[in-house]
């Protein structure tokens, strides 16, 4: 078992810098497309043998140091009693967005083992076959709320912010339910065998710091406190586009902070203080020439050398257009250049 990733999360010295990529299992891989050609995305998430197969693909192909459960942050929202669909090219759609107290009242806080047994089964399958640690995950409450309130992806998040500002009680009632669901869901993943957890806060970057502090952060803190009471596995918090929020994200309670590419990694390390750091190359830097990509990786490794623990990653998910060969080049470079350092 290669536990370099877990060591880095805990802030121990490692023989080389471990690396995994957000969305490392996905559409840029012909091997994924082949499986996906036979089933819809949601069926893929709900069929443990297939979900485990695509989770394995990037590990077997490129030698990543951690696997991430193949699923989606919106799976537990479906279990809360919402009608979720993925439309080709449009992303996720909730047919009945939540805009009033009745909508909140109709949400259930599901028992994850009963409503999402396929997730726990995928985790168990993976634990019996993987030689690297398995990361479980969930969306952070604010990011999940944006999908529920907007009904899908959004650019300005008008409905979400309008609810925050005009109907704060309604907003907080909704967040309380999402938070209860997410806390139970992550705890179930730990019981099934997840060896680290990441919370994706993909959209908090749209919030002013004072609003993040009031409307998003307390819910992240509460989930992390619940997890701390039942496990000591590493907890990673990724606040995408969060460089204006670091005074606050450092109080979330996570062991590891994930960063997008807008902050230089050296600055991220300084702000992260006693946390391990994960990130943060621009996913589109994978389109650089090999020489330039390797030079950029080299300078990131140097800038991050004082981190309490460093896990190399992208600053956000890999794009479907990425040539798989470039992923191999990047992973090999992280391993080779960090082992020399
Ligand atoms: O990282 C991994 O490899 C694990 C799997 C994973 C997926 N989604 C698979 C997926 C993870 C961790 C996620 C998280 C996720 N899902 C987030 C948070 C991370 C981030 O990117 O900020 C968000 C916001 C979602 C919601 C979501 N799921 C969207 C917006 C979309 C559509 C995106 C698009 O480009 O069409 C999805 C679908 C999705 N999730 C796919 C995959 C592989 C593509 C599905 C397909 O095969 O068509």
Q: What is the pLDDT of residues 250-273, one digit of tens each?
A: 999 999 999 999 999 999 999 999
Q: In DSSP terms, which residues pair with 137 in a beta bridge?
A: 198
pLDDT higher than 90, residue 202: yes
At residue 239, the 3 state secondary structure works out as strand
Q: How much of the chain, in percent, has pLDDT values that exceed 70?
A: 99
pLDDT higher than 60, residue 222: yes
Residue 341: pLDDT band (50, 70, 90) is: low
Position in ligand 1 atom list of the atom nearest CA 202? 22
> How many beta carbons lie within 10 A of that of residue 2, not counting itself?
16
Angle between helices 324-340 and 48-62 (to 10 degrees): 60
Residues 6+ apart with CB under 8 A from 128: none
- Encode pLDDT of 99-117 as tens digits: 999 999 999 999 999 999 9
Burial of 304-327, coded b for 16+ CB within 10 Å and e otherwise, reads beebbbbbbbbbbebeeebebebb
Question: What is d(CA 104, CA 200) in angstroms, rounded to the nearest whole number?
Answer: 22
Mean pLDDT of the 310-338 span: 98
Q: What is the pTM of this model?
A: 0.97
- Encode pLDDT of 140-175 as tens digits: 999 999 999 999 999 999 999 999 999 999 999 999
- Is residue 41 lining ligand 1, measured as CB closer than 6 Å? yes
- 317 Cα–ligand 1 center, Å: 8
Question: Which domains are seen in the chain, by residue range?
Answer: 4-340 (3.20.20.210)
Please tell me the predicted confidence (pLDDT) of residue 340: 66
Please tell me the predicted confidence (pLDDT) of residue 89: 81
- Is residue 262 lining ligand 1, measured as CB closer than 6 Å? no
Which residue, by CA, sits nearest to atom 13 of ligand 1? 72
Please tell me the predicted confidence (pLDDT) of residue 122: 98
- Is residue 27 lining ligand 1, measured as CB closer than 6 Å? yes
pLDDT higher than 80, residue 337: yes
Question: What is d(CA 115, CA 188) in angstroms, rounded to the nearest whole number?
Answer: 11
Which residue, by CA, sits nearest to atom 43 of ligand 1? 26
Please tell me the predicted confidence (pLDDT) of residue 88: 83
- Is residue 338 lining ligand 1, measured as CB closer than 6 Å? no
- Encode pLDDT of 49-99 as tens digits: 999 999 999 999 999 999 999 999 999 999 999 999 998 888 999 999 999
Q: What is the mean pLDDT of the chain?
A: 97
């Amino acid at each position: 078992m290669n536990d370099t990733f877990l060591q880095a999360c805990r802030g121990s010295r490692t023989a080389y810098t471990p690396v995994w990529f957000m969305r490392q299992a996905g559409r840029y891989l012909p091997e994924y497309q082949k499986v996906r050609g036979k089933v819809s995305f949601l069926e893929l998430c709900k069929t443990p043998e297939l979900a485990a197969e695509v989770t394995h693909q990037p590990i077997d192909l490129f030698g990543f140091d951690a696997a991430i459960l193949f699923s989606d942050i919106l799976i537990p929202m479906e279990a809360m009693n919402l009608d979720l669909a993925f439309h080709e090219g449009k992303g996720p759609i909730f047919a009945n967005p939540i805009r009033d107290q009745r909508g909140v009242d109709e949400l259930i806080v599901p028992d994850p083992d009963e409503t999402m047994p396929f997730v726990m089964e995928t985790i168990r399958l993976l634990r019996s076959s993987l030689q690297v640690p398995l990361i479980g995950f969930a969306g952070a409450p604010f990011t999940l709320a944006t999908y529920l309130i907007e009904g899908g992806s959004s650019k300005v998040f008008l409905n979400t912010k309008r609810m925050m500002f005009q109907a704060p009680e309604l907003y907080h009632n909704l967040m309380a339910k999402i938070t209860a669901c997410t806390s139970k869901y992550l705890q179930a993943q730990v019981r099934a065998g997840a060896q680290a957890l990441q919370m994706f806060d993909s959209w908090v970057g749209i919030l002013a710091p004072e609003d993040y502090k009031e409307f998003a952060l307390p819910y992240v803190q509460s989930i992390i406190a619940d997890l701390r009471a039942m496990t000591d596995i590493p907890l990673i918090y990724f606040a995408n586009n969060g460089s204006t929020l670091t005074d606050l994200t450092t109080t979330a309670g996570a062991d590891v902070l994930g960063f997008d590419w807008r902050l230089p990694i050296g600055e991220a390390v300084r702000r992260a203080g006693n946390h391990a750091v994960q990130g943060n190359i621009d996913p589109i830097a994978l389109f650089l020439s090999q020489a330039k990509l390797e030079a950029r990786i080299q300078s990131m490794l140097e800038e991050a050398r004082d981190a309490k623990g460093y896990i190399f990653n992208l600053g956000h998910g890999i794009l479907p257009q990425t040539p798989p060969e470039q992923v191999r080049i990047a992973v090999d470079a992280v391993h080779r250049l960090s082992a020399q350092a």
